[in-house]
Amino acid sequence: MAQGGGTGKNTATLEQVLQLGLQYQTKGNVPAALNLYADILRQIPDQPDALHLTGLCHYQNGDHQKAVDWMRRSIQLNPNNATVHSNLGVALIELGMVDDAKQHFRQAITLKPDHTESHSNLGAILGNHNHTDEAIRHFEIALGQNPDHLASLRGLAKLSVHVGKTDQAIDLYTRALRFVPDDADLHTDLAVALNLVNQPGRALPHHLKAIKLEPGIVRHLSSFATTLESCAFTSTDDTLEAALGNVLSCNQISPRTATKATLAVLSLKEGFNAAIERISNAEGSVEKFQPSDLDTLQEQPLFLQALRTHPLSNLRFERALTSLRQIILFKEAGKSGFHVPLIAALAAQCFNNEYVYALSDAERAKIDDLNNQLRQDILSDKDFSPEIPAILACYKPIFEYDWAERLSRKNLPNDLKSLFEQQFHEPNQERYLRDQIPQLTGIDNNISQAVRSQYEENPYPRWNHTSLVQNPKPIDETLKSYPLMLDIGDYQSPPHPQILVAGCGTGKHSIDVASRFQDATVLAVDLSLSSLSYARRKTEQLGLTNLTYGQADILKLGELNRQFDLIECGGVLHHMDDPMAGWRVLCDLLKPGGLMKIALYSEIGRKAIVEAREFIASHGYKSTADDIRKCRQDILASDSNAKNTLLHSSDFFSLSDCRDLIFHIQEHRFTLPQIEQCLADLGLEFLDFEITGSQQLRQQRTSINQGAKSERLKRWHKYEQENPSTFAGMYQFWCRKPKN
């Protein structure tokens, strides 16, 4: 906020007093400044500079309403002071009166065309409301007056990213950091821009600097996690490992990329890498095992944290951990209690991946013996090694053992307490919540019933942490800005949007929606009560209050007699008997002018999955846990073309996820010409694909969007034919219902 004095009666004395007051303000002695200005106003009640500076004092004190009132009095007496208009605009922003603020910034510019602060502040408002071109013009004027103006450097850099001028943004952020080298937000902003132009190696030090400057701030950790997807590590240090640990421990960030990066970083450690290699080569044989390797693994807290947090989608580590589990089960010295932290972390990993590892008959027999021994010890109140329940939890969840209730009441070491929380108390909470979820519709369709049965047995996806948006914004602003940067035409968000998530699964999707959009009320529905109870537990854990759940079949959602401003349906329609029947129901639920996000499987991108499904059918595997485990091992031992694709899918490394990926009871796949016809039949306008991460795809989208809207899907179809893996996951796109 700018400061400015002036002249009035008794000019010399008045000027001196005003300057003294400004000195007090600068030093933070606001009460002394207020006393001086009050003395002036007692003698000259209409002195505009004293009124203005009194307003500034109230602004410094955080009383923005008083600041506005005093500055407005000043402007009434002297409407031609550009600085007062500018400062009043800043105070009005704090009260949420953005339109009024904008008028005062414009008035300041009219009075003083080179008023840097007003150009910069006006640029910020315009940029936040997607008036990008005009905002850029004002920032450029401000920087023309003052090339080192920090707020303008920041603002123009942000908009440069938005319009695809990422190299310019990098230059602007770099210039800004010369003035404030310890500004964590600038380091993160620069790192994000560098990652967008495929320079994750240059981005990484800025991420680490931001995290070191402001530890625990979710924005810095989340941006760092995004960059990790593209990083190749050649060395490690305590700073990098601490940052990875912070991401893994943050319950508001999806840990998938951090887990993969953690394994890459730990593999650079010679001792750890050698231990993993030896354990893997031992193939479960105690005779080939070096006992010191257990110590080596346990001495890596980052490894234990990764095990506890997320399924490790890495074949090398799956084989090592399968071998480690066997060694721990059969080794003679496994009852000392010394390795409880490692075994408990392994048990958490096995729970996270739902016991997807290969299981031998010898292990089954040993588990039964160990379980019987522990049961007798617990019933007899005998002492037992805490390793034993941890070992058993490596093979099935604690709540499935008949001794679990009794043991849960004992005073347990912390590692076992954490296991009981994950594998006993949380599942019990889900069973309690299950009865509280309302049934909104019946479920009569045969395929709907079969799909429901699958997800009752295997809720999908299982997760511990997910990404939460820290600063929710209106729908239009969210979709147009980084990282989505979608072309949504002239769409404007309603002030209090009603949103439907149709097919929410275990809540990861619905929680993202509820945290992302400002002042939104979200209803999330699903067929499976097991999935919904998981979702509700996690929602309550995260403290979200704008999200409710109900059991329902999409085919019957018309019974709700409601309409929504936004509907998201991700990866659901293609599992229905008739996807178009479900899509029509959703269209009827969407308000005129409303948005819809749809995700569908690609026929072109899913060729490897089709091959895997044919492999399953030809071998007669059923969708039981044992058959899924056996099928995975047979695929890994085969020369199937699908194997490499599956190994790059994180879903392959978890039981429920693998069932959803290649064992699903029902699957339809689409081509873009088919989707184009569906949209035409439903009367929906295609807007844009949601693409994050890949700079190449972002550039392709920018190029395609420059052409006629009516040709977008045709151009994308041509591109996908030339690049078949483009939509290997799913098509994820936004469409819109006509306003009338």
**Statement to judge: residues 520 and 463 lie in one domain:** yes
Predicted confidence at residue 702, as pLDDT, reads 85
Is there a domain that residue 446 lies in?
Answer: yes
Of 662, 690, 706, the domain-final residue: 662
Is there a domain that residue 531 lies in?
Answer: yes
Are 584 and 683 a contacting pair, CB within 8 Å? no
- How much is the pTM? 0.88
- Domain of 578, CATH number, reads 3.40.50.150
- Domain of 109, CATH number, reads 1.25.40.10
Residue 134 banded pLDDT, cuts 50, 70, 90? very high
Of 159, 189, 210, the domain-final residue: 210
Percentage of the chain lying above the pLDDT 90 cut:
84
Q: 738 exposed, middle or buried (CB, 10 Å; 0-12, 13-18, 19+)?
A: exposed
Predicted confidence at residue 9, as pLDDT, reads 44
For 221-278, how does the pLDDT look when each residue is reduced to its tens digit (9 = 90+)?
999 999 998 899 999 999 999 999 999 999 889 898 899 999 999 999 999 999 999 9
**Statement to judge: residues 658 and 685 lie in one domain:** no
**If you average pLDDT over each of 10-24, 448-462, 469-483, which comes out highest?**
448-462
Are 577 and 448 a contacting pair, CB within 8 Å? yes
Q: Both tokens of residue 673?
A: 């010409």
Q: How far apart are CA 89 and CA 105, in angstroms?
A: 6
In this predicted structure, the answer to whether residue 692 has a pLDDT above a threshold of 80 is: no
Q: How far apart are CA 598 and CA 568, in angstroms?
A: 6
**Statement to judge: residues 559 and 569 lie in one domain:** yes
Of 399, 414, 432, the domain-final residue: 432
**Statement to judge: residues 138 and 100 lie in one domain:** yes
**Statement to judge: residues 52 and 25 lie in one domain:** yes
Sheet order of strands, 498-502 included = 547-551, 521-526, 498-502, 564-570, 590-600, 731-736, 685-689
Q: How far apart are CA 111 and CA 289, in angstroms?
A: 81
**Statement to judge: residues 578 and 613 lie in one domain:** no
Residue-averaged pLDDT of the chain: 93
Q: How far apart are CA 297 and CA 339, in angstroms?
A: 10
Q: How far apart are CA 149 and CA 419, in angstroms?
A: 53
**Statement to judge: residues 197 and 330 lie in one domain:** no
**Statement to judge: residues 626 and 527 lie in one domain:** no
Summarize the confidence of residues 422-435 as an average pLDDT: 96
| Long-range Cβ contact pairs of 368-375 (< 8 A, separation 24 or more) | 370/329, 371/401, 374/403, 375/401, 375/402, 375/403
For 359-411, how does the pLDDT look when each residue is reduced to its tens digit (9 = 90+)?
999 999 999 999 999 999 999 999 888 999 999 999 999 999 999 999 999 99
- Determine the number of helices (DSSP H) and then strands (DSSP E) in the chain: 37, 7
**Statement to judge: residues 499 and 620 lie in one domain:** no
Is there a domain that residue 1 lies in?
Answer: no
Are 597 and 733 a contacting pair, CB within 8 Å? yes
Summarize the confidence of residues 564-586 as an average pLDDT: 97
Total count of domains within the chain: 4
292 Rama sector, left if φ>0, alpha if ψ -120 to 50, beta otherwise: alpha
**Statement to judge: residues 597 and 470 lie in one domain:** yes
Is there a domain that residue 219 lies in?
Answer: no
Predicted confidence at residue 455, as pLDDT, reads 95
Is there a domain that residue 218 lies in?
Answer: no
Residue 439 banded pLDDT, cuts 50, 70, 90? very high
The domain of 623 spans 607-662
Residue 10 banded pLDDT, cuts 50, 70, 90? very low
Percentage of the chain lying above the pLDDT 70 cut:
97
Predicted confidence at residue 481, as pLDDT, reads 79
Predicted confidence at residue 8, as pLDDT, reads 42
